[in-house]
Amino acid sequence: MDVITIESKAFKSLMSKVDTIFDYVITQQNLQNKEDSWVDSYEVCTFLKISDRTLQRLRSQRKITYSRIRGKNYYKISEIKRMLDENLIRRSEDHLQDLIQNKKNIVQDNGIEIRPL
């Protein structure tokens, strides 16, 4: 085992740089988590103002990917964004931002941390 000694000033400088890198990684992770969050069918229908049947049609035509957990369908926000970009659903970007903001508020209210699956 090698022991390395450095001056306290150099150590503090190194730790400052490590903290800066850590903050950057956490910021990027939070930005990524917004689009990797999962929302259920109810949230999608409510915020995009589409019917359950429209969402079901998109699923059956394999135009949207989803995951089924205990009989409930979940969609990635990035997948909803893709549908809007491809005009599979004709809604404004504001509807998507409302959905993201609602998810963020629910998470903050419940103290839940969002992590990609």
pLDDT, tens only, 49-98: 888 998 999 899 998 899 998 888 999 888 888 888 887 666 656 666 66
Give dist(CA 83, CA 92) in Å, integer. 11
pLDDT (tens digit per residue) in 2-44: 888 889 999 999 999 988 998 887 777 666 655 577 888 988 8
Q: What is the DSSP secondary structure assignment for residue 113, as one 8-state letter? A: P
| pTM (2 d.p.) | 0.52
pLDDT over 90 at 102, yes or no: no
Domain extents in the chain: 38-109
Please check whether residue 96 is in contact with residue 53, taking contact to mean a CB–CB distance below 8 angstroms.
no
Cα–Cα dist 86/78, whole Å: 12
- pLDDT at residue 114 tops 60: no
